[in-house]
Amino acid sequence: MTKRKNAIRVLITRLPAVLLIIVMMLCVNASCAKKDKKQNDATGQQEQQSEQDAGILQESEEPLINVEGVDLGGHNIRIASWNNIEPDPKAPYYKIFERRKKELEEKFNCTITYVQVPASEIYEKVVTTAASADPIADLIRLRSPWVVPVLAGEGLLLPVDQYFNLEDPLWNPICTQESMYKGKPYGVNSEPPTSWACVWYNKTLMEKAGLKDPYEMVYSLTWTWEKWIEYSGAVSALSTDDQKVYGTNIPHYLAFIASNGGRAVRRVNDRDAWTLDSPEAIDAVRFLKNIMKNDFVGGDARDFAEGRLGFYFSFNWANDFKEKMTDEWGMLPYPIGPNIDDYTAYTEEVQLMCLPKEAPYPKETAIIWTELSRPYPDYDYARSIYGKYFKTIRDVETALMLQNKLSLDRYWGYDKIRFDIISSNNGRSLADAIEGTYGRMYEEWLEEVTPMANSILEEIWSKYK
Which pLDDT score, from 0 to 100, does residue 230 have? 98
pLDDT for 61 equals 59
Whether residue 47 lies inside any domain: the answer is no
Asked whether residue 175 is assigned to any structural domain, the reply reads: yes
Same domain for 147 and 262, yes or no, is no
pLDDT digits (tens, 9 = 90+) for 242-300: 999 999 999 999 999 999 999 999 999 999 999 999 999 999 999 999 999 999 999 99
In this prediction, residue 104 carries a pLDDT of 96
Query: Could you tell me the pTM of the whole model?
Result: 0.85
* CATH code (residue 412): 3.40.190.10
pLDDT above 70 (res 150): yes
| Alpha helices per DSSP H over 266-339 | 279-291, 301-305
Give the SS3 label for residue 397.
helix
> Which stretch of DSSP H or E encloses residue 268?
strand 265-268
Same domain for 294 and 431, yes or no, is yes
Q: Are residues 169 and 226 in the same domain?
A: no
Residue-range definition of the domain harbouring residue 284: 197-347+404-464
Domains in the chain: how many in total? 2
Is the domain of 322 the same as that of 459? yes
Residue 21 domain-assigned (yes or no): no
Residue 42, CA distances (Å) to 32, 45, 135, 193 in order: 15, 5, 53, 39
CB-neighbour burial class of residue 321 (10 A; exposed 0-12, middle 13-18, buried 19+): buried
Residues 198-256 have pLDDT tens digits of 999 999 999 999 999 999 999 999 999 999 999 999 999 999 999 999 999 999 999 99
What do you get for the CA distance between the two ends of the chain, in Å? Answer: 126
